[in-house]
């Protein structure tokens, strides 16, 4: 028992030393390092394919529109090696059946926060690799106005994800361009699904059993691939890209498959906030999250 106490004490001591070290590091960073925020506002437009057998056994296809925001910043405790990413967006997809006489409207909102470790590849100038994790909350509904008691399929999902990113800064002619590929794979989480033929009236009168499910890649597979090219025109950056989103689930004998392929158009800026009255030190090193 005494040995266990000693071990725990040693661990706490080590952590304390690390925190103290990090604090010292931060104090010096405050003076010498500036961590700009890369803010991006994006619009996606493309196509969607929607299958949700709670609503229909038929696959619907149509448009996909998304308005999104992304924020990237190197993290204070170790800005060379760690960055954080915040993303939020709203997707809307009006999709039609093959006969073109019914529509399913899909509206989804998502919020994601993650941390990634950075490796600068010395072998290839301008190449950085990132790997880490994120957590995201995604919710919304599919609405089939032609249906009766199965008129809506609610989707709520919280997940812990693996995420990886490759960034390559390169000049094309005189134009600096940042190429980027990022993949995000939810691996664990919880999600909501009604049972096979369960009405929302039954849920309303109190039967809430079997609605929340433990999610993993075996019953809920989702993957987001994002390719972008950020073209830096002076202080303004124009982003063009492509986003591919796969969301599938198989639970309670209900099959959901939503695929989105969209072009991405965005405006980005790298911002540095400085306290009024203070100046950025001439020696200050600016560490960008990605550029």
- Contacting residues toward another protein, per CB under 8 A: 51, 53, 56-59, 97-102, 144, 146-150, 195-199, 201-202, 204-207, 216-221, 248-250, 252-253, 255, 257
CA 260 from centroid of its chain's CA atoms: 15
Shortest Cβ distance from residue 282 to another protein (Å)? Answer: 47
Residue with smaller CB distance to another protein, 223 or 286: 223
Give the SS3 label for residue 136. Answer: strand
Shortest Cβ distance from residue 98 to another protein (Å)? Answer: 6
Shortest Cβ distance from residue 15 to another protein (Å)? Answer: 32
Residue with smaller CB distance to another protein, 48 or 74: 48
d(CA 50, CA 94): 9
CA 182 from centroid of its chain's CA atoms: 10
The total of other beta-carbon atoms located within 10 Å of residue 218's CB is 7
Residue with smaller CB distance to another protein, 82 or 250: 250
Residue with smaller CB distance to another protein, 98 or 269: 98
- Residues 240 and 43: beta-carbon distance below 8 Å: no
Query: Hey, which bits of the chain come out as E strands?
Result: 33-34, 37-52, 60-74, 82-96, 103-120, 127-143, 152-172, 175-192, 212-216, 220-233, 236-251, 254-271, 285-286
Shortest Cβ distance from residue 193 to another protein (Å)? Answer: 12
Shortest Cβ distance from residue 224 to another protein (Å)? Answer: 14
Residue with smaller CB distance to another protein, 103 or 135: 103
- Residue 224 buriedness (CB in 10 A; 0-12 / 13-18 / 19+): buried
């Amino acid at each position: 028992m005494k040995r266990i106490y000693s071990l725990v004490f040693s661990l706490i001591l080590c952590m304390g030393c690390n925190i103290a070290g990090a604090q010292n590091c931060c104090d010096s960073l405050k003076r010498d390092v500036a961590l700009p925020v890369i803010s991006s506002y994006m619009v996606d437009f493309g196509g969607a394919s929607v299958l949700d057998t709670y609503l229909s056994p038929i696959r619907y296809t149509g448009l996909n529109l998304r308005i999104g925001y992304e924020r990237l910043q190197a993290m204070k405790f170790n800005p060379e090696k760690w960055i954080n990413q915040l993303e939020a967006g709203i997707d809307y997809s009006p999709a039609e059946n093959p006969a073109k006489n019914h529509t399913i409207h899909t509206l989804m909102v998502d919020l994601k926060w993650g941390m990634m470790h950075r490796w600068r590849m010395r072998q290839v100038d301008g190449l950085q690799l990132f790997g880490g994790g994120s957590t995201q909350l995604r919710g919304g509904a599919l609405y089939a106005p032609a249906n009766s008691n199965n008129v809506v399929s609610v989707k709520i999902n919280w997940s812990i994800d693996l995420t990886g990113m490759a960034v390559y800064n390169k000049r094309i002619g005189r134009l600096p361009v940042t190429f980027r590929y990022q993949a995000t794979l939810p691996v664990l989480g919880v999600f909501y699904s009604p049972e096979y033929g369960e009405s929302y009236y039954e849920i309303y009168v109190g039967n809430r059993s079997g609605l929340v499910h433990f999610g993993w890649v075996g019953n809920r597979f989702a993957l987001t691939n994002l390719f972008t090219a950020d073209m830096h025109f002076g202080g303004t950056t124009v982003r063009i890209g492509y986003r591919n989103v796969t969301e599938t689930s198989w639970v309670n004998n209900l099959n959901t498959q939503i695929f989105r392929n969209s072009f991405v158009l965005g405006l980005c800026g790298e911002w540095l906030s400085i306290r009024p009255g203070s100046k950025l030190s001439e020696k200050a090193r600016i560490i960008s999250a990605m550029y």
